[in-house]
Structure 1
Amino acid sequence: MSNLKLNDPYVNFLLPSTNGNEVSLDMAELGEYKLVIFSCNHCPYAQAWEDRIIKIQEKYKSNGLSVIMISSNDALKYPEDSFPKMKERHEEKGFNFHYLFDETQEVAKMYGAERTPEVFLFNEIGLLKYQGTIDDNYENESEVKIKYVEEAIESLISGKDPEITQTDAVGCTIKWI
């Protein structure tokens, strides 16, 4: 369960990005809607959703959405989740969003994230409006019936709160230090 509750403001941070910059949620270049996703390289659930995350950023960037993906896994126990491997993954997949390294796991703890992937969607004034999973079928995109994140984004864009505000995140557990 999230430490952040519905309508709580986002918790800001400053983390290194695979593109060479440091990223904070307060950066002016980020869109008004922020989709913070805790993920990683090695988890098959996270891998299964990567292409959909890229598509979500493409689809909603013009509406002011910024995807910010964060890996908080213990890179000593899981070397495939190390920062150099994250940079490789960013290049291989052509991520169109920031991929950040939470080496100390402080950000994951502040948010209460437990799974990879686990999403936190914030509205234009920075309040949490949806938390949970991306959609209802990680295995097969063509069999998705409910696109939780996209439905929540569409609601925010149209000036409404999402009907579904929380789902159980489906994925691997964050690998704690």
Structure 2
Amino acid sequence: MKKVIKIISVLTIVVLISAFTMNTSNDSQGYQVGDVATDFKLKNIDGNMVSLADFNDAKGFIVIFTCNTCPYAVAYEDRVEALNKKYADQGYPVIAIMPNNTDVKPGDNFEAMQARAKAKGFTFPYLLDEGQKIYPQYGATKTPHVYLLQKTKKGNEVMYIGAIDDNYQDASAVSKKYVENAVDALLSGKDIEEKQTRAIGCSIKV
């Protein structure tokens, strides 16, 4: 009898642990295509707080989790700037967010972000995810990691998730411009052919 009770107790614990693990896993996945992204308010490199609601005329947003120190992110800096120059006036501005723990990566701290943005001439907001509260909501895991949002009746709907293009090493050798293709599709009222790709980059430092 004692052995039966012990087995039942063990099974109960296993079931509870499994249930907790399953829930935790699902919660950590972040947004999927079709989900509505909640707004945020994060500090920009100019010291001002920025939220999506500030962009009244925007049709959507190219939200990119990126940083100063990751070689992949650095390789994409000029392309991110080009995306903003091409699409901001068409209603899809770039909103860059730095998600790393700056204690682990001091090269990504606020002062370093300011210096990098000035050196590169960024024309887009470069926001600090202080306390690392926003990137887990999105489910971002890499730098860079893109979330293309479109303003719809439901809210800021996620339309594309993943990489900027298919060649981080050489911009001239890119054959698929995932983000550009997705934004162009939205602007022309067409369906996005590739709605999700695998983000290539450094892991976000926690």
TM-score higher than 0.5 here? yes
Q: Which secondary structure does the structure 2 equivalent of 1:122 belong to?
A: strand
Q: How far does the alpha carbon of each residue in 1:56-92 deviate from its partner, in whole angstroms, 9 at most, with x for none?
A: 1111122111110001101011110001100001100
Q: Tell me the equivalent position of 1:79.
A: 106
Alignment correspondent of 1:170: 200
Query: Aligned runs of 1:6-155 on 2, under 5 Å?
Result: 6-29=33-56, 31-125=58-152, 126-155=156-185
The answer for the alignment partner of 2:17 in structure 1 is none
Q: Secondary structure at the match of 1:60?
A: helix
Gaps of 5+ in 2: 1-27
More helix by share: 2
Partner of 1:157: 187
**2: CA distance, partners of 1:159 / 1:148:** 16
SS of alignment partner, residue 100 of structure 2: coil
> Percent identity at matched positions?
43
Q: How many Å apart are 1:175 and its aligned residue? A: 0.2
Distance, in Å, in 2 between the alignment partners of 1:24 and 1:37 is: 14
Alpha-carbon separation, structure 2, partners of 1:10 and 1:86: 25
The one-letter amino acid paired with 2:178 is Y
Shift in Å, 1:97: 0.3
Runs of 4+ in structure 1 deviating by more than 6 angstroms, as ranges, are none
Residue pair 1:11, 1:111 contacting (<8 A) in 2 also: no
Query: Greater RCO between the two (CA within 8 Å, min separation 6)?
Result: 1
* Mapped partners of 1:157, 1:60: distance in 2: 10
Note the residue ranges of structure 1 that are not aligned, 5 or more in a row: none
| TM-score, scaled to structure 2 | 0.83
**What RMSD, in angstroms, separates the aligned Cα atoms of the two structures?**
1.2
Matched with 2:9 is none
